[in-house]
Amino acid sequence: MNAETRNNSQGKGRDTAKPKTDTAKLPHLATLAEYAVDTWQRGILYADVIRQRGNQYQAHLAERVPNVLNFLSEVVMSGKDLPRPVNYWLVRIVPPHDKPADHMKRPFVVIDPRAGHGPGIGGFKVDSEIGVIIDAGHPCYFIGFLPDPIEGQTIEDVMQAEAAFLERIIELHPCPEGKPAVIGNCQAGWQILMTASIRPELFGPIIVAGAPLSYWAGWRGRDPMRYTAGLLGGSWLTAMSSDMGAGRFDGAWLVQNFENLNPANTLWNKQHHLYANVDTEAPRYLDFEKYWGGYVYLNDVEMQYIVDNLFIGNRLATAELHTSDGVRIDLRNIRSPIVVFCSYGDNITPPPQALGWITDLYGDDEDVLTHDQTIIYATHESVGHLGIFVSGAVSRKEHHKFTTNIDLIDVLPAGIYRATITEPAQRNVVAPINNFELSIEPTNVASVREIVQPDPESDRRFNAVAQLSKINLGLYRQFLQPWVRHTFTPQAAQWLQAMHPLRVSYEWWSDHNPLAPQIAEAAIKVREQRVTIDEDNPFLQMQRIVSKAITQTLDQWRDMRDSGYERAFEWIYDSPWMRILAGQTGSDEPARAVPCTSVDHDTLVQQKLAKLRAELAEGGAVEAGIRALIYIHRFCSSIDERRANLMLELHQPDCHRGFDMASFRHTVRRQANIMRLDEVAAIVTLPQLLARDNPARIREIAYAIERTRDFAPLSAAEESGLSQMLKVFEVAADSPALRLP
C-alpha cells in the first residue's frame, strides 16, 4: 500500500480533504457571483430610474398647467376671470367614446387637495374616483389649481370661486336627478364644506375623503402630527416661512411634514422597494413621483388663515368662523347628505380628526334631527392616507358603491348613519370584482363619540396652544417680521425655495448631470443582458432580512420620537404657568368653545313641526307607499341598496315623463319626519292618502311593497308590518265609496 492509499484509508490525507472543501464552497461562490452581478445591474437600473425621475420633474414644472390628471379634459372656467381672481380652474372630463356620459344623470365634481402637491391625484389612473364616475355614466368635472396663487387671493376667494364653478355646472346640467355630487379629497374636504355652509343650495351629496375637520382630536399614543404646532410655539414659524418666501408659502414644507411621519418609508422602504423590483416597478414609481414632487405654493394670507383658524384654532368644528361680510361658516347649515370616508390606517387624517366635528357640533341625536342634517360615515381598516382616494382597490369598492348609490344617499332622512360595504352572502364565483353590497345602518352621535373619544383635558392643552400661538405670532410680527421681510427679497426667496431638500432630491440627478449619459447608456446594455437571480438565493434572502431589520429599527425610532413628542407636549401644556399664560384660571371652564345656535333655531324647529302635523293627511298613494315602507322596516338594523331602491320604483311609472329627484327626496324625507313625529297618526291617516288615487295605482304600489320579501327574509316584526300595510292598501283599493272627490 502506497502512502496516498494509506493516508486515504486513515482519513488524514491533505489531498482528500481539499476537494471536499472546494466542492462545498463552489455553490456558495456561484450564488455570490450571481448576486454580485444582479446587485450591480439593479444598481445601474435604479440610478437610471432616478435619472428619469429628475427629467420628469423638470418637464412637469415646465408645463403650463402641471397636473397628473390621466384623462382627456377641456377647460370650462378659469378662476383668473372671476371678480376676485384665484389660481383655480374648472375642467370637464371628456369620457372615452365607449363610455359616453348620460346627461340625464347628475354630474360629479372631484376637487383635489391643495396641500403641497399639484392637482390630479383623484384621476391619475384608470382605477380612480374619476374613472369610477366615468364607468357609472355620470358627467364628470374636475377642479384643480395652478402652482402659484394670484397675489392677494384668500381662502374666502377660493370658496367664492368654487361656488361660481358649481353655478356654471348647474347651468350646463339642469339635471332632473339632482344637484351636483361633490367629492373633496383631504384639504379640499374642509374647503368644500365651508363653501357648502354658505351656499347650501348649490350642492347635492358631498363626499369628503380623508379630510381633516377637527384638528384637536386624536388618540393618545398615536397621531403625533397634531402636537407639532404646540412644540413649535404656534404659527409664528408659518408666518416667518411665508416672509422668507417673499409672500409665498412653499408647499414642499407641507410635504416634508408628511414625509417625517414615516421615516422608514421615506428613508428606506420606498427606495429599497424600487431597487428590489426595478425590473417592473419603474412605471408605477415614476407615475407617483410625478405627483409627489409637483410642489405648489400658497399665499401667506391663505396659509396663515389655515394654520391659525383650522390647524391650531380648530374654529371650523365649533362654528366660530365668519366671512368678510359677517356670514357665519357653520357646517350645520349644510342640507346635503355628507359622506365622511376615513381609515384607521391613516396617520395624517385619522378617524377622530375626520369625525370629531360631529361630536363638536352636536350634543345628541335630537340636535342632528332638528338641524335636518344627514351624515354617513364609512371607515376602512388599514388603507393609508393617499390610498383613500388613490388606491385602485378602494376605488373599485368604496368609491364605486358611493357613486352608483348616490341617489340612495341623497334621499336618506336626517340622522347619523354608518355605511359598510361587503361581499354578498351568496357571491357568484364568476361575478365581477366590484360585486359588493352597500349597507347603511342608522346609528347615533354616541357611536361616533366612541370612535373620536373626546378628551376635555387634551382640549385644554390645545386651547393653551392656540392662546400661546397668538402671543408668539404677535411678538414675531412686532419684532422680527420687518427684518425678515427686508432681508428676503424675491430673488433670495427663489434661491431658498430652489434649495429646499425635497427639491434638491429631484434636481441633483437628471440629464443635466455630466454623469447621466454614461448611466443611461449602461442601463440600455444592462437591460439587453439582464438575467434575474433565483428567489431562493441566500444572499438575496439576506438582503431582505437586512432590509426588514432597517425598517424595524426606523419604526422603533419613530415610535420613541412620537412618544417623546407626546410626553413633552403634555408636560409643557399641563404646567400651571402655561395654563395661566393661556388664561385658563379654573378647571370648571369649558375646554373649548361651545358651538352657538341661531337665536331663531328653536322657533324654526317649532314651525317645521307644526307644518309636519298639518301634512299628516296630505299626499296620495306614492306618499302612502313610502310611509308604509318606512313603517315596515322601522325595526330593521340596516338599509341595503336593494330595499332603498324599491322606493324609487314607486315613482317608476312617472320616469318616462321626467323623474324629479329633488321632489322625490323631499317626499321621502318629509314622510320619514312625519313618522318620527307621530307614528300612530301617520298610519291612521293612510286611508285618507290612498283615497286620492285610483284602485289600479293603489294595487300597483301594493305589489311593489310586497316585493320587499324578494330581497331577504323579513323579521317577524317586518312581516307583521308588511301584512298590516297590505291589508290597508287592499281595503282602499276595494272600497270605491272611500274615493275622495
Q: Is the pLDDT of residue 650 over 90?
A: no
Q: Who has greater pLDDT, 362 or 738?
A: 362
Q: Are the beta carbons of 274 and 519 closer than 8 angstroms?
A: no
In 3D space, the residue among 289, 278, 294, 287 whose CA is nearest the CA of residue 48 turns out to be 278
Per-residue pLDDT at 597: 72
CA-based angle 279:284:287, to the nearest 5? 135
| Residue position matching grid coordinates 376605488 | 395
How would residue 644 be classed by pLDDT, with cut points 50, 70 and 90? Answer: low
CA atoms of 152 and 329, how far apart (whole Å): 21
Q: Is the pLDDT of residue 658 over 60?
A: no
Give the strand order in the sheet containing 206-209. 73-78, 88-93, 140-145, 108-111, 181-185, 206-209, 338-343, 374-380, 415-422, 437-443, 639-640
User: Which stretch of DSSP H or E encloses residue 719?
Assistant: helix 716-733
Q: Who has greater pLDDT, 84 or 601?
A: 84
Q: What distance, in Å, lies between the first and last C-alpha atoms of the chain?
A: 131
Per-residue pLDDT at 665: 84
- 191-196: long-range pairs with CB below 8 Å, 24+: 191/111, 191/114, 191/155, 191/158, 191/159, 191/162, 192/111, 192/162, 193/316, 193/331, 193/334, 193/338, 194/155, 194/159, 194/316, 194/321, 194/329, 195/159, 195/162, 195/163, 196/333, 196/334, 196/336
For 73-93, write each residue's pLDDT tens digit. Answer: 999 999 999 999 999 999 999
Mean pLDDT of 230-259: 96
Q: Are the beta carbons of 342 and 384 closer than 8 angstroms?
A: no
Backbone phi and psi for residue 578, each to the nearest 5 degrees, phi listed first: -70, -35
What are the extents of the domains in the chain?
A: 73-216+317-454, 601-738
Mean pLDDT of 578-605: 75
For 113-156, write each residue's pLDDT tens digit. Answer: 999 988 888 888 888 999 999 999 999 999 999 999 999 999 99
For 389-425, write each residue's pLDDT tens digit. Answer: 888 889 889 999 999 999 889 989 999 999 998 876 5
Mean pLDDT of 196-205: 96
CA-based angle 491:495:501, to the nearest 5? 160
Residues recorded for the chain? 741
Q: Which CATH architecture has domain 73-216+317-454?
A: 3-Layer(aba) Sandwich (3.40)
Mean pLDDT of 367-389: 93
